[in-house]
Amino acid sequence: MKTIDTRELAAWLDATLQAPRFKDYCPNGLQVEGKPRVGHIITGVTASEALIRAAIERNADAVLVHHGWFWKNEDPRVRGTRRTRLALMLAHDLNLFAYHLPLDAHPEWGNNAQLARVLGLTPERDDTGAPVTCGHGDLIWLGNAPDLGTLGALAARVQQRLGRQPLLIGDPDQPLRRVAWCTGGAQSMLADAIDAGADAYITGEASEPTYHLARETGTGFIGAGHHATERYGAQALGEAVAKHFGIRVEFIDIDNPV
């Protein structure tokens, strides 16, 4: 089986995702160092115990995820679930690579780019071909749903493609002109999408104020699930790694209804 140097893989991922330019809530890159060479990677959304055990069962050398560890303001002590996860990683010499905002933002393999692909959304592009964005860190993408005329049709497409019924706020018959989207827990950026002229905003979660802001501004809101909207970035990145390095990469979906 072909293998590559762990440091070479880390450098390629950091450079490809432009990790150093992001001010994030967690460290991006190689979070836990394991074997010096990698020939088999398991990708997934979150570095949960279930995903780690799946990687161990498959004799993987590394885990590559969107949601890693060591989040800002969380308890840094190594106990409980953190101890269990870390002990498993170290006992089996597994590398853990995690990319949060860099994977959201990547123009080809990122969560926003991949959600657009899955839902059939057409991103707006600037003169350089880059996606038109707005909001904190330019994380919100803007575009349209060319074959869907109403908010209700968009919600039905989300349910069909993502496999779960989304939260819908707004009139299903509302016409669509401009759609904004940002995967995961980006409900706090609804106001940015409204300021950008979006008729509808798709993200993963909703908070209590989300309902009132959407209703009072007449903006359609679709909460499609944090996990459900972010299943595709890590999968696409893993496929890119396999193609570039010629090593084995498997995506495992540990489903999460949130």
pLDDT-derived band at 208, boundaries 50, 70, 90: very high
Q: What is the pLDDT of residue 192?
A: 98
Q: Cβ contacts of residue 224 below 8 Å, gap of 6+?
A: 158, 162, 164, 166, 167, 202, 203, 204
**What is the phi/psi pair of residue 4, to 5°?**
-130, 160
- Does the structure show a pLDDT above 90 at 1? no
Q: Is 66 annotated as a binding residue?
A: yes
Q: What is the pLDDT of residue 61?
A: 98
pLDDT-derived band at 139, boundaries 50, 70, 90: very high
Q: Is 104 annotated as a binding residue?
A: yes
Q: What is the mean pLDDT of residues 225-245?
A: 98
Q: Is 211 helix (H, G, I), strand (E, B) or coil?
A: helix
pLDDT-derived band at 194, boundaries 50, 70, 90: very high
Q: Cβ contacts of residue 98 below 8 Å, gap of 6+?
A: 26, 27, 28, 29, 31, 47, 64, 65, 66, 67, 68, 69
Q: What is the mean pLDDT of the chain?
A: 97
Span 9-41, pLDDT tens digits: 999 999 999 999 999 999 999 999 999 999 999
Q: What domains, with CATH codes, occur in the chain?
A: 4-99+231-251 (3.40.1390.30), 105-229 (3.40.1390.30)
Q: Is 230 annotated as a binding residue?
A: yes
Q: What is the pLDDT of residue 240?
A: 98
DSSP string spanning 73-115?
A: TS-----THHHHHHHHHHHTT-EEEE-SHHHHH-TTTSHHHHH
Span 218-229, pLDDT tens digits: 999 999 999 999
Q: What is the pLDDT of residue 100?
A: 98
- Does the structure show a pLDDT above 90 at 210? yes
pTM score, two decimals? 0.96
Q: Is 67 annotated as a binding residue?
A: yes
Question: Taking the C-alpha atoms of 32, 36, 38 and 39 in order, what is their torsion angle to the nearest 10 degrees?
Answer: -150
Q: What is the pLDDT of residue 105?
A: 96
Q: Any idea what DSSP says for residue 166?
A: P
Quote the CA–CA distance of 106 and 111 in Å, as a whole number.
8
Q: What is the mean pLDDT of residues 6-11?
A: 98
Span 79-129, pLDDT tens digits: 999 999 999 999 999 999 999 999 999 999 999 999 999 999 999 999 999
Q: What is the pLDDT of residue 41?
A: 98
> Percentage of residues in the chain with pLDDT exceeding 70?
100
pLDDT-derived band at 164, boundaries 50, 70, 90: very high
